[in-house]
Amino acid sequence: MFPQEAEIVVIGGGVVGSAVAYFLARAGKNVVLVEKGGRGGEASAANAAFVWSITRKAGIDIRLAMHSFDIHQQLQVELEMDFEYVRGGGLMIIEDKTQLPFVETHLQKRAKDGYPLEMIDADRVLELEPRLARERVYGAVYSPIDGFTNPIFLVLALNLEAQKLGAQLLHYTEVLDIGVTDGKVKSVITDKGTIKTQTVVNAAGSWGGFIGDMVGIQVPVSPFQLAMLVTEQLPPTLSHAIMGASYMVEEDTGKDEGLGGGLIMSQQAAGNLLIGASWRKTGYDRRTIQEEIELMARVNVRAMPMLKTVRIIRSYANFFPNTPDDLPILGRVDGVEGFIMACGHCGHGVGMGPGSGKLIQELICDGKTTIPLDEVNLSRFR
């Protein structure tokens, strides 16, 4: 039955929105989640599956990431369904000396902030991952706490538990408008009906700007396509989440709108390798193209030559919601009472989403959060 009213309506059913709905339901709130597609059907089903901290910057960025690491472990205990979270360690591979200045600056800032990282040499890297090509490894940054998960299973696990706790999940339901009267949220209008509510959480990811438009605010979130490849099932091949330092360099210097790519690898529990990645600005077109598939294949075969004979079974792409400062937008919105932001995670929604969900629940239920959200409030862009 379609709900006529709710205490809170969460718009967006990816990792972030599902975590918000779960934690609100666990706190006893009457919550409805509205998602235009299926369960985990957008960016949460098409990403690198990392739960990652190595490239998170000093300050609020790493604090949010580390908080979310704790929440991932909490969810492993609380959720009935296994979402294949593995905290097996992460390696950011330094491929040549030109990347060193960027890496060293990053490490200095992290150490000064109290979140140090370890630099290891090529010999140690190859002890950890012997299938990597030695000529492509100058060294690496190592983190024992990083890892990967199954993002689709994570969404499903959160959804199932939220429903047990009384949350209503409306998939294949599109939000058409949000009713606002005298600066206060009053309703959410969907293609299936209207839900009366006084609190809306915008967890719509790359579509967060459209939801902001409905209440008359500008949300600076834009889509940036990320593509990956999936291999056939393999015996144990990788132990760590792997990223090339070129990814961080491009993130620091600003990604070109053309086709770019860098090393990303992890192995899922079923044995498939997720390898990539390529990125480009495509608007909301998530189709992969031959050029990016070939680019990803070249990058990964150079890094791990054994992949040359491994079959690729599919490619996929979706969008990470990009913000001007590469930080998420979390918290209440000035001028629209009852409207709360929870999007713009810039490609780190899987890793940071559970923590963001918990913080939004604290904000709604307690009026304060474990980590202050002032630095990531929408008002920073005004």
Domains of the chain, by residue range, sit at 8-67+151-221+325-381, 90-143+223-322
CATH class of 8-67+151-221+325-381: alpha beta
pLDDT in tens, 69-122: 999 999 999 999 999 999 999 999 999 999 999 999 999 999 999 999 999 999
Q: Give the pLDDT confidence score for residue 256 in this predicted structure.
A: 61
CA–CA dist 352, 182 (Å, integer): 34
Below-70 pLDDT ranges, the chain? 251-257
The beta strands (E) that lie in 204-305 are given as: 222-233, 241-244, 260-267, 272-280
From the candidate CATH numbers 3.30.9.10, 3.90.180.10, 3.40.47.10, 3.40.50.1220, the one assigned to the domain spanning 90-143+223-322: 3.30.9.10
φ, ψ (nearest 5 deg) of residue 380: -65, -15
The vertex-135 CA angle with 275 and 118, nearest 5°, equals 75
Q: Give the pLDDT confidence score for residue 259 in this predicted structure.
A: 87
CA–CA dist 81, 69 (Å, integer): 18
Domains 8-67+151-221+325-381 and 90-143+223-322 share a fold: no
pLDDT in tens, 223-264: 999 999 999 999 999 999 999 998 888 766 555 668 888 999
Contact in structure between 322 and 222 (CB atoms under 8 Å) = yes
CA dihedral 174, 167, 42, 191 (to 10 degrees): -10
Q: 323: which DSSP letter?
A: -
H/E run at residue 341: strand 339-343
pTM for the complete prediction?
0.95
CA–CA dist 1, 224 (Å, integer): 36
Q: What DSSP line would sit under 51-78, residue for residue? A: E--TTPPTTHHHHHHHHHHHHHHHHHHH
Q: Give the pLDDT confidence score for residue 108 in this predicted structure.
A: 97
Residue 49 preceded by cis peptide, ω within 30: no
